[in-house]
Chain A
């Protein structure tokens, strides 16, 4: 099936630092989504991207739909302790029957 390679798998950063993570695939995607999952809870949608090159912000979070349509990036500026969680990318592709494919997640830990 479709695969989304998400990296890094985990990050341990100091409060105030900026964070970058990305998802890549060998397939073209029509939609990219970024989710955050807090411990013991379900993922919550952060940002949705629908056009190649699109750059969208949600507070301190900024995500981009790669121009090749095979990748997406999420940046978090000035991290705070409540940013802790697992961040998942998800992509929608015709090749996957238009279903969402999820990346393996990036576990973010923030040291106060």
Chain B
């Protein structure tokens, strides 16, 4: 079955550490996205990529970095520069860059700073 897989489901980070969240899709989608969700809040766009080897900052990119070396993969690194990284992170993909057919979301990674 095609889908989008995020791993790990839960991640704990010590202050000052960088961590990388994995996102893989086998839907052959061109575009991929990373969102951050805080408790009781909506979705805020961190980064997006509409094509391999290209990505753009979203609304809250500071303290995060991404790469898009393969169509299937869009990993997100939460760096030590992100001062409040505890949140639920959602990866999504869409068949075409406009997303007019909707985004397919992964099941999320919950990151906690300890």
- Closest CB of chain A to B30's CB: distance in Å? 13
**With A1-B59, A88-B43, A107-B40 as contacts: A99 and B107 at CB distance below 8 Å:** no
B53 at the binding interface (Cβ < 8 Å): no
The number of inter-chain residue pairs (CB within 8 angstroms) is: 55
The answer on a CB contact under 8 Å between B103 and A100 is yes
**Residue ranges of A at the interface with B (Cβ–Cβ < 8 Å):** 1, 6, 30-31, 33, 35, 40-45, 48, 50, 88, 90, 92, 98-100, 102-105, 107
Minimum CB–CB distance from A39 to chain B (whole Å) comes to: 10
Decide if A99 touches B108 in the complex (CB within 8 Å): no
C-alpha spacing A45/B4, complex, angstroms:
14
Residues of A within 8 A of B40 (CB): 107
Inter-chain contact A92/B100, CB cutoff 8 Å: yes
Asked, given contacts A41-B107, A42-B105, whether A103 binds B42 with beta carbons under 8 Å apart, the answer is: yes
Give every chain A residue within 8 A of B104 (Cβ-Cβ). Answer: 45
CB 8 Å contact bits of B45-65 with A (1 = contact, 0 = none): 100100000000001000000
A88, B98: Cβ atoms closer than 8 Å: no
* Nearest CB of B to A84, in Å: 15
Q: Which residue of A lies closest to B91 (CB)?
A: A42
State whether B108 touches A105 (Cβ < 8 A): no
